[in-house]
Structure 1
Amino acid sequence: MADTVELRGLPFPLSASHADVFRHDDQAGLVTATAPGHTDFYVNPAGADSADAETVVNAPTLLGLPPAGDFQFSARITVDFRSQYDAGVLMVWFDERTWGKFCFEFSPAGEPMVVSVVTRGVSDDANAFTVADRSIWLRVSRIDRVYAYHASTDGTTWQLIRVFTLGDQVSEHRIGFEAQSPTGDGCTVTFTDIRFVPDRLAELRDGS
């Protein structure tokens, strides 16, 4: 895969952080990623002496700079979950200490789960709900300087998961895809139904 990628339906190019991780098929309208083992984006809020998860910022990303203004960016994410915290992710990125992850992740209980992580210096971590299937639709919307995360089990009805900001420098925020396998030896993530709509979200709470 070339370092710079253009996907049908996305009005901006994407750049891959790692060679040979992401593949795309424009005819099929999909992106696949094979996450290497022990990869993640997480800045431990408890510091280096904590017994909790260590700080890791090495997961592969495929990111690009969207056009100015409001938008809705979504995809259906399918993960061949193997190990705890394996995930496919939609990402908003500014720098290594300022980013937001919207994850379809394998929970410690062995269940697929919608999870969000927002990092502003250090990371938080919020679980939303478990999913019976191994696929979910996730959407990132920008409204002025605010981002909203919505999830859907059918691609039609959306549930608000989170609203947050990464600061005023929205013109420098990149968006795209990430794949991770923090505790395992890798996983494969497939992104389909990829859409970018340069429209303002009409209703923040119900996602319509």
Structure 2
Amino acid sequence: MKTKAIFTCTVLGIILLCSCGNKSTQNSSQADSATASAKDSARVSGIPCDITLPKIHFTKAVNGADTLAKADKNGKVTFRVGEKKDFFCDPNNKLSNNTAPILLAKVDNTRPFTFVSKVTSGFTKEGLYNAGVLYIYVNDNRWQKFCFEQDERGNHRIVTVRTIGTSDDNNHDVVTSPWVYMKISSDTHTVASYYSLDKNNWQLVRLYKNDYPAEIWMGISSQCPVDKGTTSYFDEISLDQNSVTDFRLGN
């Protein structure tokens, strides 16, 4: 009888522990969901604009982007930016700066999409962190930027920054070409960023779960966090509701 009682108590203890574990997991998931919802309901910057290119329509401008980006008849965008303009939410709040201008086009994130541009950044001798940038944008607290950027050693490299409240910062490959093709694509489940020198062979840079809301924005920007201003160029810009078929190769 004593053995049976011990066994019964042990089983009950395991059930109670599992129940507590399940509640803890549920509470954690609910907290994560609440955090994401709070980030999504944060302030959305920008004013309406109407810039129509052959394969994309920009309808929102952040920080005066519509006055700084000019498109020619072939759809090439010249995007100038003033001094100390950046978009970054520093975890220590020392370098936080959300003043960079961004042109945005709305995307239905319940469907696949691919956003591509040839990017020529306005690199200068003193232009630390100068970059031409592609964006996934929800609001000022939730976004990803994909940059062709000048680093601390003067190298020109691929950089990604993902922000959920605060920003991370990831430096990738050095590129010696004066320009690079950049692509962001999603099949609704996964979102990935790539670069290429010939628009045929794509290098995967970053991949993660697409947990963005149903309505998001894709954009272009020029940034100049340190220097007195620069100009970036965007050519062959396209946005369509199809995704790559191979997320490793980007094709």
Would you call these one fold, judging by a TM-score over 0.5? Answer: yes
Alignment of 1:53-132 (within 5 A): 54-68=95-109, 69-82=111-124, 83-132=127-176
Q: Of Structure 1 and Structure 2, which has the larger fraction of its residues in helix?
A: 2
Question: In the TM superposition, what is the alpha-carbon distance from 1:185 to its structure 2 partner?
Answer: 0.8
- In the alignment, the residues of structure 2 paired with residue 168 and residue 59 of structure 1 have an alpha-carbon distance, to the nearest angstrom, of 22
Matched with 2:223 is 180
Q: Distance in 1 between matches of 2:232 and 2:58?
A: 20
Rate the CA distance shift 1:111–1:168 in 2: closer, same or farther, 3 A.
closer
Q: How does 1:32-43 map to 2 (within 5 A)?
A: 32-43=78-89
Contact 1:98 / 1:166 at 8 angstroms: preserved in 2? no
Give the match for residue 204 of structure 1: 247
Counterpart secondary structure, 1:65: strand
Runs of 4 or more, structure 1, over 4 Å off, are none
- Cα deviation 1:54-110 (Å, max 9, x = unaligned): 111110000010245101110000012020000000000001110000000011111
Select the structure of larger CA radius of gyration: 2
Instruction: Please report the RMSD computed on the Cα atoms of aligned residues, expressed in angstroms.
Output: 1.6
Deviations 1:5-37 (A, max 9, x none): 111112x44322215211112x32211110111
Q: Where does structure 2 lack aligned partners over 5 or more consecutive residues?
A: 1-47
Work out which of the residue numbers 55, 62, 75 in structure 2 matches 1:9: 55
In 1, Cα distance between the equivalents of 2:180 and 2:239?
A: 17
| Separation of aligned partners in 1, 2:239 and 2:140 | 24
Equivalent position SS for 2:107: coil
RCO higher in 1 or 2 (8 Å CA, sep ≥ 6)? Answer: 1
Question: Percent identity at matched positions?
Answer: 28
TM-score, normalised by the number of residues in structure 1 = 0.90
Contact 2:69 2:77 in 1 (8 A): yes
Structure 1 residues 168 and 29, CA gap change in structure 2 (3 angstroms):
closer
